[in-house]
């Protein structure tokens, strides 16, 4: 099964619940099999199947709730989180900080969490992320930049406490 | 300061999405700018951290099995259902492979025939006695073939066209006799070969225009006869003669 482990991991990150993640992956595979004809050969298979998973998540109860609580200013340019003013040393992340980063990711709103995972963990190109999320490249870049800033702030916040 | 220009590009740089030329420029800048270099380092570190933290959840083996089963055998109860697609796929593969091989051998046959005919055309050009029946009159040339070849054909009216009939001779391919007609246009000679389709054993191929050993070749099959027009005249001339022959045939 192509991408099974990764799809499951991503689904669990989105739903934050094992059972829901399993339902989500199962539904994704069912939809992908049924809709395989709609997949155009030569286009990106990975982006296609992640897009199915994500759309399925968005229409699920958890998904619609998670995205409904996202602040409206998420995509606006005027609201920008303050840049961390600490010295570079304070953000130096050790291997032992993995749990800290995971916790910070958990706390991020879904749009930030997913774009970070697609970019850093799935190592998708901006083009692939744009296809997966169904948003223009410019939005991918600005959302990534905000997500990183938010993650950095959250990590620092967790470090202090 | 130049930094403002670069700070917003550090993300794309760390993601490897900056165009090569810009990336080189930024490289240059980072070497001389401590604050941008530090910011870049932080970005890369954060990237690495998320990359490492991203792998957090592993699917349950039982769940994996469930999905695998649901994908591998949807609604399959009998072995027939399970194996039918495999059998059908295998048969399709065999069919495609044999069709491919057949096409290949057909192509090889076509190529071989073509080079044989080009050889004959060249031999005719070089011969001091190129034709056995010397006549510009189609009503002389056509009856001459009677009894020499096992079929008959029609020759076009050439009046008003740039072509002139020079004569004809009996030609052979695959031990079967056929007609070779010589036409002249300006300084060029064109050979037209006519054979029975069944004598060519499928090597006649479909209608085509090609170049063989830098000779122009037109070929087509109609009513059991295959025509090959070969010459060093222009493609347009050959095409025109081919049309005249088709109209007559």
Q: Residue A103 has which token pair?
A: 């916790």
Angle subtended by helix axes A98-107 and B34-54, to nearest 10: 80
Q: Quickly state the pLDDT bin for B74 (edges 50, 70, 90).
A: low
The answer to whether B55 contacts chain A (CB < 8 Å) is: yes
Of the two residues A65 and A117, the one the predictor is more confident about is: A117
Give the whole-angstrom CA distance, residue B40 versus residue B11.
8
Give the whole-angstrom CA distance, residue B202 versus residue B225.
12
Contact list in A for residue B70 (CB cut-off 8 A) is 26, 29-30
Contact of B131 with B166, CB cutoff 8 Å: yes
Which of B7, B10, B36, B42 has the most A C-beta neighbours within 10 Å, making it the best mutation to test the interface with A? Answer: B42
Average pLDDT over chain A, rounded to an integer: 82
* pLDDT at res. A79: 42
Mean pLDDT score, A51-55: 94
Which of B41-45, B79-83, B107-111, B115-119 has maximum average pLDDT? B41-45
Delimit the domains of chain A by residue range: 1-69, 77-161
The answer to whether B51 contacts chain A (CB < 8 Å) is: yes
Residue B2, class by beta-carbon neighbours within 10 Å (0-12 exposed, 13-18 middle, 19+ buried)?
Answer: exposed
Q: Residue B162 has which token pair?
A: 């740039």
For the stretch B123-172, pLDDT in tens is: 888 877 778 888 888 888 888 888 888 888 888 888 888 888 888 889 88
- Give the residue carrying structure tokens 């591998």: B72
Calculate the CA A115 to chain-centre distance.
Answer: 4
* pLDDT at res. B160: 83
Q: Residue A55 has which token pair?
A: 């759309």
Is A1-69 a domain of CATH 1.10.1740.10?
yes
Q: Which CATH code for domain A77-161? A: 1.10.10.10
Is A117–B67 a contact, with Cβ atoms under 8 angstroms apart?
Answer: no
Q: Residue B35 has which token pair?
A: 């604050």
Is A22–B60 a contact, with Cβ atoms under 8 angstroms apart?
Answer: yes
Q: Per DSSP, what are the bridge partners of residue B176?
A: B173
The residues on A that touch B, with CB distances below 8 Å, are 1, 4-5, 8-9, 12-13, 18, 21-22, 25-26, 29-30, 33, 88, 91-93, 95, 97-99, 101-102, 105, 116-117, 119-123, 125-126, 141, 144-145, 148, 151-152
Is B53–A101 a contact, with Cβ atoms under 8 angstroms apart?
Answer: yes
Burial B86-110 (b: 16+ CB within 10 A, else e): eeeeeeeeeeeeeeeeeeeebeebb
For the stretch B203-248, pLDDT in tens is: 666 677 777 667 888 888 888 888 999 988 888 888 888 888 888 8
Query: Quick one: fold of B109-248?
Result: Phosphorylase Kinase; domain 1 (3.30.200)
Is B63–A22 a contact, with Cβ atoms under 8 angstroms apart?
Answer: yes
Of the two residues B173 and A126, the one the predictor is more confident about is: A126
ipTM above 0.90, yes or no: no
Contact of B173 with B113, CB cutoff 8 Å: yes
Which segments of B64-223 are extended strands (E)? 133-134, 164-173, 176-185, 188-196, 208-212, 215-222
Please tell me the number of Cα atoms within 13 Å of A135 on its side-chain side.
15
């Amino acid at each position: 099964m192509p991408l099974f482990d990764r799809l499951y991991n991503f689904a669990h990150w989105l739903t934050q619940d094992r059972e829901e993640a399993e339902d989500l992956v199962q539904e994704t595979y069912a939809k992908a099999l049924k809709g395989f004809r709609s997949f155009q050969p030569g286009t990106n298979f990975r982006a296609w199947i992640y897009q199915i998973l994500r759309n399925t998540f968005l229409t699920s109860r958890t998904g619609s709730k998670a995205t409904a609580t996202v602040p409206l200013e998420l995509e606006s340019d005027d609201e920008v989180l303050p840049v961390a003013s600490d010295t570079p040393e304070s953000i130096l992340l050790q291997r032992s900080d993995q749990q800290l980063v995971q916790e910070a990711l958990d706390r991020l709103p879904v749009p930030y969490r997913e774009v970070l995972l697609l970019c850093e963990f799935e190592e998708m190109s901006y083009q692939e992320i744009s296809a997966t999320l169904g948003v223009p490249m410019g939005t991918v870049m600005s959302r990534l930049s905000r997500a990183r800033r938010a993650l950095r702030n959250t990590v620092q916040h967790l470090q202090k406490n | 300061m130049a930094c403002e220009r670069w700070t917003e590009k550090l993300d794309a740089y760390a993601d490897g999405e900056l165009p090569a030329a810009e990336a080189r420029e930024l490289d240059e800048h980072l070497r001389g700018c401590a604050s941008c270099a530090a910011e870049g380092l932080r970005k890369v570190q954060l990237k690495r951290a998320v990359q490492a933290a991203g792998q957090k959840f592993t699917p349950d083996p039982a769940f994996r099995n469930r999905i695998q089963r649901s994908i591998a055998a949807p609604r399959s109860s009998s072995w027939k259902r399970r194996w039918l697609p495999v059998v059908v796929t295998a048969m399709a593969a065999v069919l495609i492979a044999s069709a491919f091989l057949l096409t290949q051998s057909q192509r090889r046959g076509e190529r071989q025939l073509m080079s044989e005919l080009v050889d004959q055309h060249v031999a005719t050009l070089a011969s001091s006695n190129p034709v056995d029946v010397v006549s510009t009159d189609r009503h002389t040339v056509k009856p001459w073939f009677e009894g020499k070849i096992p079929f008959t054909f029609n020759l076009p009216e050439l009046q008003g066209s740039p072509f002139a009939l020079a004569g004809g001779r009996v030609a052979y391919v695959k031990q079967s006799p056929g007609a070779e007609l010589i036409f002249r246009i300006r300084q060029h000679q064109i050979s037209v070969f006519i054979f029975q389709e069944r004598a060519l054993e499928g090597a006649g191929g479909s209608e085509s225009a090609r170049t063989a050993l830098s000779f122009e070749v037109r070929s087509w099959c109609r009513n059991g006869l295959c025509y090959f027009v070969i010459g060093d005249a222009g493609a347009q001339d050959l095409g025109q003669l081919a049309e005249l022959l088709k109209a007559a045939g």
